A and B are shown apart, each in its own frame.
Chain A
Amino acid sequence: MKRFALLSFVVFFAFATGALAEKPFPNRNITDVVVWSAGGGTDVCNRIVTAEMATILGTNINVINKTGGVAGSVGMSHAFGMPHDGYTLCGLSESNVTAGVQGGWDKKFDVWDAFIVGGSPDVISVTPDTPYKTLKDLIEAAKANPKSIKASASGAGSIHHLNLLAVENGSGAKFNFIPYKGSNDAQNAAMTGEVSVVVTSLAEQQQLLRGGKLRALGMLIPESFDVQDLGSIPSAFTAYPGLSKYLPISQAIGFAVPADTPADAKKVLVDAFNKAMATDKVKTWAKENYYLLSGKTGAESKKVFDALESNFAWTLWELGAATVNPETLKIAKP
């Protein structure tokens, strides 16, 4: 009896495993492997957009977080190691392009085909009790006493650090850079008065700016930006046109599939992505959270990521914080 049961069990799943009918993509659940932790910007972005895509595709999209490694390399390797069939997405952001030069990932970033949801522009702010009312005040003060003004941003080599560096390069000022673990910590340090200048994204800062805990001096994008209760934050480029040589370095949050994913699966995904980006839900969410939507896919997104990769890789290499020479990965100089 028992042996019979066992035998029938074995036969049953031998059949069942082989019998998955071939239906057009997608015929089962899609997994979105987010390489940053739950609750972060990349995670939230992915969950919002994939939820919309799921209804369009008529299938589930499970968002999971697989963190760790060098610049998210554990999650990226995992997603890349799964079959390249479009059923595994990799939720990532611009910071992942540094995995290569930091020795966690032995490929150039163009093995991915990215879908860029967008990002929030960076803003440079000071604590309200400092005397700097405009960006000019701040830069002049920094120039007068180089390295005397403390500026915070998340860790060395992060996007906000790169923005801060670009401000230094474009304006000739020198700050005393104090790194923090993340944007939250960096902003917290500004509120406690440990540092006077902070560079993070508008999405992360908006509540503090509007609540009067921080004072925005300039957007690090070519356009000014309207924020509720505050009016328009001027672009830093107006006061220092030289910045346009180094900026903008914008966030590019979204997800990616391996570039050699079958074209038909990719096409279905791109369609669903475009439709999802056009939904009111995504648009309202972006507006309320001060995100700029991008919606770039294919060749367009490749261009964005190529630029980011070369910028990040070479900046890190020059700072001495990269372990792998970008040349060995054939990353072009910016």
Chain B
Amino acid sequence: MMDKDKLRKADLFSGVLIVLLGLFIISQAVKMPMKDSWGGVMNVWYVSPALFPLFVGAMLAFLGGSLVLIAFGNVGKQGFREVIGFLTGEKCISFLRQPESLRFYAIVFNLLVFVFVMIPHIDFFLAAILFLLVLFCMFYFGDHAHMKRVFRFSVFTGLLLSLFQFSPLGSTISKFSNSAGDWLVVVIICIFVLFIRKEGMAQPEQKKKFHLCIIIAVVAPLLIGIIFKYFLLVPLPHEGLIIRLLDSIFYSDLWS
């Protein structure tokens, strides 16, 4: 959390957004059926599906407005001008370029790629291994410059993967082999490991940490995935290469 003064300035900003959201909710709610029968249920004002959203929207607009007023009372015109100045000026850019902000982008970007690109299309194990490996290597050892390089690498691979999944090229390749995406991730993981190794690992300490990273990144998903898939019988989001392999081990005639 920030300190009081900054917080009030942020309130100006968030308060306005809340008011807008409230107004949006109201604008949508008035389009809902108010009187006529819908779904065989007698409809009067108090039965209307719009009742609750209207109330919520109105309250949000009101509370957001009050927040803006409170914040305005605290920081005054001066503060208001500062907020506008901050949002448009250089300060904002330098804030966005801070090391801490950069770390924030790195985490969020990787989470986004993991959830939106990898989970739905890539074998769960491979996806989790890549995700863990990248995050571990970003933060567990190395300095800020190291993190930046890993981040750059992950942006590159993330974009490559999304290009593969969402472009016509990818879907044509997938027609020939439906685990093409999985193989791509395998290749990326290999390149990534080589990339980090090349990436000056001066002290033996770092090397040790890196090996630990690899082990955990492989063991943790295997453990989690196998428990879910074979013990709790929960199918994983996308079952590709590795899961087919595990399936053939688990259900092979060897056991019966």
C-beta contact mask, A27-43 vs B, less than 8 Å → 1, else 0?
01101000000000000
Per the bound structure, the CA–CA distance linking A157 and B249 in Å amounts to 47
A1 close to chain B: CB less than 8 A: no
A64 pairs with B234, CB closer than 8 A: yes
Which residues of chain A have C-beta atoms less than 8 A from B233's C-beta?
62, 64
Per the bound structure, the CA–CA distance linking A87 and B51 in Å amounts to 46
Q: Residue on A with the closest CB to B242?
A: A13
B248 pairs with A321, CB closer than 8 A: no
B40 pairs with A17, CB closer than 8 A: no
Q: Place the interface of chain A in its size category.
A: 20 to 34
B7 close to chain A: CB less than 8 A: no
Which residues of chain B have C-beta atoms less than 8 A from A179's C-beta?
39, 41
A16 close to chain B: CB less than 8 A: yes
B81 close to chain A: CB less than 8 A: no
B249's partner among A6, A16, A321 (CB-CB below 8 A) is A16
Which residues of chain A have C-beta atoms less than 8 A from B245's C-beta?
13, 16-17
Per the bound structure, the CA–CA distance linking A320 and B179 in Å amounts to 45
B140 close to chain A: CB less than 8 A: no
Q: How far is the CB of A316 from chain B (nearest CB, A)?
A: 8
Q: How far is the CB of B231 from chain A (nearest CB, A)?
A: 12
Q: How far is the CB of A305 from chain B (nearest CB, A)?
A: 23
A321 pairs with B235, CB closer than 8 A: no
Q: Residue on B with the closest CB to A318?
A: B40
B248 pairs with A156, CB closer than 8 A: no
B39's partner among A19, A28, A320 (CB-CB below 8 A) is A320
B224 close to chain A: CB less than 8 A: no
Q: How far is the CB of B163 from chain A (nearest CB, A)?
A: 23
Chain A binding surface SS class: mixed
Q: Residue on B with the closest CB to A23?
A: B253
C-beta contact mask, B211-230 vs A, less than 8 Å → 1, else 0?
00000000000000000000
Q: Residue on B with the closest CB to A168?
A: B40
A275 close to chain B: CB less than 8 A: no
Per the bound structure, the CA–CA distance linking A6 and B249 in Å amounts to 19
B38 close to chain A: CB less than 8 A: yes
Per the bound structure, the CA–CA distance linking A157 and B38 in Å amounts to 11
B5 close to chain A: CB less than 8 A: no
Which residues of chain A have C-beta atoms less than 8 A from B249's C-beta?
16
Which residues of chain B have C-beta atoms less than 8 A from A176's C-beta?
42
Which residues of chain B have C-beta atoms less than 8 A from A31's C-beta?
235
User: Which residues of chain A have a CB within 8 Å of any CB of chain B?
Assistant: 6, 10, 13, 16-17, 19-20, 28-29, 31, 62, 64, 147, 156-157, 161, 165, 176-177, 179, 316, 319-321
User: Which residues of chain B have a CB within 8 Å of any CB of chain A?
Assistant: 36-42, 179, 186, 190, 233-235, 241-242, 244-245, 247-249, 251
Q: Top 8 A-B pairs ranked by shortest CB distance?
A: A156-B39, A321-B39, A13-B245, A319-B40, A17-B244, A16-B245, A62-B233, A16-B248
Query: Would you give 25 A-B contacts (Cβ < 8 Å), ordered by A?
Result: A6-B190, A13-B242, A16-B244, A17-B241, A17-B248, A31-B235, A62-B233, A64-B233, A64-B235, A147-B42, A157-B40, A176-B42, A177-B41, A177-B42, A179-B39, A179-B41, A316-B39, A319-B38, A319-B39, A319-B40, A320-B36, A320-B37, A320-B38, A321-B38, A321-B39
Q: A16-B244, A17-B248, A179-B39 are in contact. List 20 more A-B contacts (CB 8 A).
A: A10-B186, A13-B241, A16-B249, A17-B241, A19-B248, A20-B244, A28-B251, A31-B235, A64-B233, A64-B234, A64-B235, A147-B42, A156-B40, A156-B41, A157-B39, A176-B42, A177-B40, A177-B41, A177-B42, A320-B36
